[in-house]
Structure 1
Amino acid sequence: MLSTRSRDARFVVLVWVVSRAWLALCAYAGHRMHPFLAPVRGGYSGVSNWWLNVWTTYDSTYFIEIAQRGYRPLTTAFFPLYPLLLRPFGPDENDIALAGILISNVAFLIALAILLQLGKAELGEHAARRSTLVLAFFPSAIYSMAVYTDALFLMLALLSFLAAREKRWAAAGLIAGLAALTRNAGPVLTAALAVEWVVQRRRVGQSLMSPSVVFVGVPVLVFVAVQLYFSARFGRVTLLAAQASFGRAPSMPWTPIIRDVMDVVRSRHGISLVTLLNVGASCAVFVIAWIYRSRLAARNLMLMCGVMLMQLSYSRTWPPYTISSLRYVLSTPAFADGLALMSVTPRSRVVQLGFAIIGVLTCGTMALLFGMKAFIS
């Protein structure tokens, strides 16, 4: 008879393999529809190897460039850990791309395993398994296979949260620091760890002051250190300036949502699946946070809401204004957990099956568009 750990491992590997196969099938189908190495408006035509090309689009070009040649002012919008991991495989772009694909897929496998482990402890086995499926077949899951940071960030954030839950605060802070080297979410990660710290200490009636609390601040210190490095090298604080180069500007968090909703209502730019999914994800974050505020871990809610507020507060200046929201929630475990809890609410198996089919088809459609070099999130 298989042990619980063995059953969980088999489940995670099966979900990972099936989801990778489905995403790859749809992405390559889209890839065949797009002329190989044809110019992409506002994007990147990809590396020269046909099989690897599909996984290198848009932001991938900057990770590959940083790995090959280092930073320039424009690329300071991207944090250094992922390009540093790719650098030893250079300078050939195809070797770098292959390394990035392997890193992303292995990181996502580990992330699924940790998500299941944390979910079983906090939500129960049924909801935890459903959450694993939701994440693996999420509409933006295609980015977890590509030369993007999403899977690496998710893995590191989950590893940090697992360590924090087990009260290994030094490990939690240091791993969260690595996550902060991957993306600009250092302040949000510190806030999430701080919430977990307060919850744990109050649960057992302990003082909030302890030497271990210093590790909570590691992610924000890493964020500041990266900005100081860029400032020293390029003579200015570059994060916001670099984001502006990608068509982003400060906004009130609700402004991009309202703009996209009004565009959809008026059909000003046509009703786009990409717009609907991104604005839907933007709104769903706060709906999930409110409905399941007592069910989901406070640290997960803090990460999810914090990441989304950052995204919406520095939004794109042309439609879809909420673009990237769908991709960012892929890296926040609370979103998958919340959708999993919603999906188990209907008692009818027919309704649950319907939700599952719609989810898998949406996931496949977005992978198809990704393969066609469409900017989906």
Structure 2
Amino acid sequence: MHIQTSNGNNTMTTQTADSTASIQMSWRTFIDPWWKATLAILPIFLLTRLIFLLLAYFGGVLFFVPNYWPGALTFRSVLYTWHHWDAVRFTTIATQGYPTPEYAAFFPLFPSLAHAFSVLFHRDILESTMFISNLAFLGTLIVLYRFVEVEFDPPTARRAALYLSIFPTALFFFAGYNESLFLFFLLLSFYAMRRAAWFLAGLFGGLALLSRSIGIFLALIFFCEFLRQKWPQLRQDWQERQLLRSLRLLPSLLCILLIPLGLAVFAAGLYVRFHDPLAFLHAQAGWRQGLSFPWVAPFIGIKSLFSIPLYTFANAHIIIELIAIGLFLALLILALFGPERFRRDQWPLLLYGLLALVYITIFPGSPGNGGIPYDPMPSAQRLVLEIFPGFIVLARLGRRSWFHQGYLLLALPMLAFLVLQFITGHWTI
């Protein structure tokens, strides 16, 4: 009996050890590619943050004091050169909540996280928004690299991370804006969808929608990707008249409801605050015209180029907007046709890219003083940052050395220029 008990204990010990080793191996298999992705993008992240810090320091000092001024600025005064436009609105929401209905256009997750960080660590609110923005961008680069590595290849993933980091308007991943937080959850949702992790896809999609209204498109993408993956099984069930067997897919499909749940939570909060659950839509009326066809805003911009003087702020701004929209339209076309086209199973990525591009143009900006259409495509040059399929196409083109070098030579000086424009308050976006 003693020997049998000993053998039994040895068997149980061996089984426990095997189970522990299996769990450790599973975790290692899961963590290793993410750790490698982190190591791959870390130099890009750190170097670009250093560039922004240097520009913030030199621009924040030398552009705001007279030559050879003997005084000294404070860290706070230099930091607050980044406190412009939407950054002001986010810090206001983070400290005061939603003071008026006009602020409802800005979704709550980003300022809520900034508020929590500020209270927990007793930090300045602008510093908190910028910390959340940069931390989320680190996560964005990791997920982007991993996503592109799986869907394409590691060199393309590395270039995609680099090209996104130095795009001329990538300064909004450093400023106190919500772009990086939205893109982080957007990419996580896409990654989970492509891996058929439907609950996580819905959860991350809901968080993306709590960051920006364009996240509502993820519900459509979720449905399309689910149907793409499950269609062979559904077709087989229908052919075999086993319709009840298809009901086993229903719990996974219902995870799609987690995405609009984020919007429902925000709408409920707005009803409590303003008795208007759609205040986030109504708040746009101050600077946007009504819903239009997607070609209306670009047409207004092109018409303005020939109807107002060339050397005006409005014209220069419109040229930047048209270049941004035209560039990403061309990139999405290249993803459909030619040597850089995506695989057939990757069409949901293209669908999102097209929807995001259309979203930029369907609400033209309101005319400025004197009837001049000052901003027909508001924030287009910033919103294209969210069209990540376009950056994948850029990265695929970047395997050609001449294209890679050309992109670096164009993007980096433009990024530096727009940073200095932003911190000196000379560029509205």
- TM bucket by the smaller chain? 0.7 to 0.9
* Greater Rg over alpha carbons, structure: 2
Percent of matched pairs sharing the same residue = 25
The code of the aligned residue for 1:277 comes to I
Q: Residue in 2 aligned with 1:44?
A: none
Per the alignment, residue 427 of structure 2 pairs with: 375
1:259 and 2:308 matched: no
Change (3 A) 1:262 1:32: farther
Q: How large is the Cα RMSD of the aligned pairs?
A: 2.8
Matched, 1:315 2:374: no
- The answer as to 2:209 corresponding to 1:180 is yes
Mark the runs of 5 or more structure 1 residues left unpaired by the alignment. Answer: 37-46
**2:173 counterpart letter in structure 1:** S
Residues 329/51 of structure 1: CA separation in 2 closer, same or farther (3 Å cut): same
1:266 Cα offset (Å) = 5.2
1:101-250 map, 5 Å: 101-202=130-231, 209-236=249-276, 237-250=278-291
Q: 1:260–1:321: 8 Å Cα contact kept in structure 2?
A: yes
Is residue 170–residue 215 contact of structure 1 (8 Å, CA) maintained in 2? yes
Task: For residue 117 of structure 1, give the secondary structure of its aligned residue in structure 2.
Answer: helix
Letter matched to residue 70 of structure 1: G
| 1:85 corresponds to 2:113 | yes
Indicate the SS of the match to 1:375: coil
Q: 1:151-186: CA deviations, max 9, x gaps?
A: 111111111112222211111101111111111123
Q: Secondary structure at the match of 2:213?
A: coil
Counterpart CA distance in 2 for 1:221 and 1:193 is 14
One-letter amino acid of the counterpart of residue 304, structure 2: D
- Contact 1:230/1:238 (8 A) holds in 2: yes
* In structure 2, distance between residues paired with 1:250 and 1:330: 22
Distance 2:391 2:404 in 1: 16
Report how many residues are paired: 362
Q: Distance in 1 between matches of 2:122 and 2:86?
A: 14
* Distance in 1, Cα, partners of 2:290 & 2:229: 38
* Match in the other structure for 2:85: 58
Query: What CA deviation, in whole Å up to 9, does each residue of 1:256-287 have, x standing for no partner?
Result: 11122233355635375543332222233333
Over 3 Å counting, the alpha-carbon distance change for 1:376 and 1:328 in structure 2 is: same
Relative contact order (C-alpha < 8 Å, sep 6+): which is higher? 1
Amino acid at match of 2:79: L
Q: Deviations over 1:297-338 (max 9, x none)?
A: 333323332223222111212323123112112123212112
Contact 2:199–2:255 at 8 Å: present in 1 too?
A: yes
Q: How far does residue 50 in structure 1 lie from its aligned partner after superposition?
A: 1.6
**In the aligned structure 2, how far is the partner of 1:327 from the partner of 1:153?**
13
TM-score (norm 2): 0.76
1:305 equivalent in structure 2: 354
Q: Post-superposition shift, 1:109?
A: 0.8
SS at match of 1:185: helix
SS at match of 2:364: strand
- 1:149 to 1:341, Cα distance in 2 relative to 1, 3 A: same
Determine whether 1:336 maps to 2:395. no
Aligned-pair CA distance for 1:251: 2.7
CA distance in 2, matches of 1:93, 1:319: 40
Alignment-derived partner of residue 41 in structure 1: none
> 1:304 touches 1:329 (CA, 8 Å); kept in 2?
no
User: Quick one: which amino acid aligns to residue 259 of structure 2?
Assistant: P
358, 361, 365: which is aligned to 2:417? Answer: 365
- Structure 1: 4+ residue segments shifted above 6 A: 91-94, 203-206
Structure 1 length as normaliser, TM-score? Answer: 0.86
Alpha-carbon separation, structure 2, partners of 1:138 and 1:23: 13
Equivalents in 2 of 1:196, 1:351: separation in Å? 32
Q: Do the aligned partners of residues 376 and 73 (structure 1) sit closer, same or farther apart at CA in structure 2, a change above 3 Å counting?
A: closer
Is the 8 Å Cα contact of residues 164 and 391 (structure 2) preserved in structure 1? yes
Select between 235-244 and 270-279 the one with higher mean Cα deviation.
Answer: 270-279
- Which segments of 5 or more consecutive residues in structure 2 lack a partner in the other structure? 1-31, 66-73, 236-245, 367-372
